[in-house]
Structure 1
């Protein structure tokens, strides 16, 4: 354990830590991180997708350097800045939608979702929020109480939130993969028919709940239900949007135009920045009801504008689709027993799924079993770190593979090799219970 990590243990509050191994990094470039001591690690998380353009992208570095040199204040609370206004205008230009719309600028996906949920309650005069089990929308306020991941972990649910089943083709809640979408939509229909829903919030891919990819058409059918019942649909693109799924927006996979869309993580290029885009009638009033002093600050806003320009200029959604296809194919080779790790790795993979560079490797207790194996997941990510890669797990047992969108073919191949070896090594007992005991993960 490095001295830097030991200092972290003594100084940084545990309430903000989600640790899987003693990672202590001093710098990064592209898809690589450098530990204290100089070891290079291939980043297959992208800081939970926040580093979507990789680490130290020149466009972001230039924009931030310019903005920080002569900043026109520190936030957009009581004044207008060129970059905050420009960022909002550019978001309105790239997010589909009609009518008069506005953009809320914040610091993280948590506050963007919280503001969107509260604004829907105020605008419609209804309080009930419809969300999905095992979903994640934030770590504060209404967003926390509407996050199934937090509720699963013991946090109090928002008293006016109802949780629906997300359609999981691998482990259908109704026991039938063929009818799981119909069952989920029927449940949503019942809740929407009650007439008291302020909004429905959904992730286009259930990320922290286990990287669950819903069947094609689910989001479109859900949107149709919301339109029929006059309930705003909030699409949470914080983690899975902005190029990651092989499209600029994840909701485009089903051809949907949500009422509100929330962004975070990758939007800031590594800096704290979030946004909610939606109707003016929802986001405009009452004034001063969502205040953050440094929200819309010129430095983060400049970074956000650089991110949006780079996504388009470098065709990163298309790059994510191509790299994701290669990565998915390589991981499925492992699952088939013909890739790195051999049969020992293959027998512990229950599924490999994803869109673009949002990929999940579902670890199970054995061949033919769908029983989740959290103990194996803890050891696999630890072993991957030992072998030179950073990857985490979600949903208890699913490796979440979300590298920066700038990953190259050779880096994809390196990722496949490390993950296959890590799974096999963990199966063979090369990581002990004692080694991972200090790293609780989720």
Structure 2
């Protein structure tokens, strides 16, 4: 039996084997679709069914499935070497990638970049760096945030189900304030008052190392952080010596119409976490920040066996080349505009649509009942109807009532339109 697939293995057969062999804690969004091959924005399962992929491996494939330039770059690296452990025998490609990211990250100040494997690792190490630089223990995040599945990641994540259930206690000195989401009655002033109250009731600002936030909340519902909130946080951080960490794991590398979402704001973060689309499907993450802050941990305090993996680094260089050469930041704005226009046109015939929002091609549609309460049932129905018609959609939000759109920025125009037609049918059914 091939370890890749067999002609006799259907999706249903493989799913039965999965249930027997793997724990239920690994949730699977589409348990009866097992991938056989994929190209750009299209995926075929072992049963020969074709799907248009509007999820991109949860924002990992901004450059699409199996982009030829990325595949070629990884093959070329395999011919040279696969692994040395960068911390044992380093290589120039990783150094050059750090130089490229330091140049691309917003701000003209001196920066340094360190590599890891997963987004959760990037968050963990951003906290380590912030604590080492400030000598303080506290970290503040927002409700609705998602920062990973490690213990620190879960502590900072502002969504209980399914990420925190049964896994506590979590690390101390982590705190949450409400994210400013006016659609749900939380204004910027409300959030800032909550932060002020936190400083008075739970932890003094002089004990806070960092405030971490996603410029656009990912798992939380694609809520864009308001300009006024970002400016206020920057001022508060400067006043109290707190570091501002931008979690760009889902927002980075062209998704919002700029290389990084923080470029939409007139303030700069001290540290940024990166992952997902950084390496086009290969596992690679990074923390990039002000040079003096990044140098705070002692030698040997940062790293990992697979950190700066050579294949992933080669893939990341190809990703950056494709983003530039194919002008994918600009394309994200065009694609996002088409999507938002189609969703807005459906409002008149789909009363469950309560909001359409986003930056660039990081767009979401939220569904509510007639009384204004979240409608996760309708959201699930839309996802299932779309799946049955050949379109893969991802949901998100604290109430699971949001569909988020993460199609590759390389998607062909005709495939995008086909997907949007399927979406329209699923919404109206």
Q: Which residue is 1:340 aligned to?
A: none
| 1:150/1:139 CA distance change after superposition, 3 Å | farther
**Residue 302 (structure 2) aligned to one of 290, 297, 304:** 290
Question: Cα RMSD between the aligned structures?
Answer: 1.9
**Residue 401 (structure 1) aligned to one of 398, 401, 405:** 405
Q: Which residue is 2:189 aligned to?
A: 182
Q: What is the number of equivalent residue pairs in this alignment?
A: 409
Q: Which residue is 1:437 aligned to?
A: none
Q: Which residue is 2:25 aligned to?
A: 15
Deviation of the 1:51 alpha carbon: 1.1
Instruction: State how far apart, in whole Å, the 2-side matches of 1:335 and 1:21 are.
Output: 31
| 1:361 equivalenced with 2:371 (yes/no) | no
Uncovered stretches (5+) of structure 2, i.e. residues with no partner? 1-10
Q: Which residue is 1:436 aligned to?
A: none
Q: Which residue is 1:71 aligned to?
A: 81
| 1:417/1:72 CA distance change after superposition, 3 Å | closer
Deviation of the 1:110 alpha carbon: 0.6
| 1:172 equivalenced with 2:185 (yes/no) | yes
- The answer (yes or no) to whether the contact 2:82–2:311 under 8 Å persists in 1 is no
What secondary structure does 1:329 align onto?
A: helix
Deviation of the 1:9 alpha carbon: 2.6
Q: Which residue is 2:140 aligned to?
A: 130
Q: Map 1:382-401 to 2 at 5 A.
A: 382-395=384-397, 396-401=400-405
Q: Map 1:303-382 to 2 at 5 A.
A: 303-337=315-349, 346-366=350-370, 369-382=371-384
Instruction: State how far apart, in whole Å, the 1-side matches of 2:112 and 2:35 are.
Output: 38
Deviation of the 1:33 alpha carbon: 0.7
- TM-score relative to the length of structure 1: 0.88
- TM-score relative to the length of structure 2: 0.90
Instruction: State how far apart, in whole Å, the 2-side matches of 1:334 and 1:153 are.
Output: 36
| 1:74/1:391 CA distance change after superposition, 3 Å | farther
The one-character-per-residue Cα deviations of 1:289-329 (angstroms, maximum 9, x if unpaired) are 23311111110011111111211111101000001000111
Instruction: State how far apart, in whole Å, the 1-side matches of 2:20 and 2:75 are.
Output: 32
Q: Which residue is 2:6 aligned to?
A: none
Q: Which residue is 1:158 aligned to?
A: 171
154-163 vs 206-215, greater mean Cα deviation: 154-163
Q: Which residue is 1:92 aligned to?
A: 102
Deviation of the 1:58 alpha carbon: 1.3
Deviation of the 1:40 alpha carbon: 1.1
- The answer (yes or no) to whether the contact 1:23–1:35 under 8 Å persists in 2 is yes
